[in-house]
Amino acid sequence: MLLTMDIGNTHITLGVWDGKSLRVSARMATQRERTGDQYAVETELLLKLHGTNAQNLSGASISSVVPELTGALAQTAERLTGTKPLVLGPGVKTGLALRVDNPAQVGADIVAAGAAAKECYHLPCLVADLGTATKLIALDKDGAFRGCAIAPGVAVSLDALSARASQLPAISFATVGKSIGTNTLESMTSGIVYGTAAMLDGMTARMEEELGESFASLIATGGLAGDFLPHCKRRFLHAPNLVLDGLRRIFLRQTM
């Protein structure tokens, strides 16, 4: 079985694949001060919690946007699998052409999401990744990555709003009613939820205009995607494990 690890700024998302089947999907908090040994213990416990024994792992594929943790988690993966993990970066065969100014600056999670979207969905394609940052990833009709837009993530924006405005409380965006709020909680929830949905719709239209063609597929992934898709006017398909699937596909590509 293959272990996939997506190291993000807020969470580390784990996946265990048995062929094309995702047997385990789990998350743990990103803590930069922890060592590879500490993460190995926690990862092994998480796998056991989900009914999987680390002894069954035969390889690992990793994407990371937290450089200070990449080495520690690579050490974790090697301890658990007994083999050197694939760490996504320059020189790795991904199958995704990067038609941007500096391909080396493209985040590993963006590459993994794009690689999976290219193979799984009709092109051209837009991937909206809603996590610590909100990323809108554009693939053209040939499946090449043409660029992206990056904005503060929903939770980051909400935390900043609550922290800097003393009269505005922390809220949950799980429920939303009217777009014109008549009290503080309704108003904040409307701004966050409907504002994010409108941004997704609006940026989709702007990117289509720049590409000169309409997206055949709109895909949403990331830990927060499910809360906002029902409020978008455009129809996004929810693919919560897109990055993990991309890591699986890229791992297999190395042996082709």
| Residues involved in catalysis | 109
Closest CA to 60 of 88, 38, 30, 35: 88
Phi, psi dihedral angles at 113 (to 5 degrees): -65, -45
- Identify any residues that bridge with 134 across adjacent strands, giving them in sequence order: 130, 151
Cβ atoms of residues 115 and 96 within 8 Å: yes
Cβ atoms of residues 160 and 151 within 8 Å: no
- CA-based radius of gyration for the chain: 19
The number of angstroms, rounded, from the C-alpha of 229 to the middle of its chain's C-alpha atoms is 15
Strand order, beta sheet including 21-29: 21-29, 11-18, 2-7, 59-64, 86-87
In the block, tokens 């909206």 appear at 128
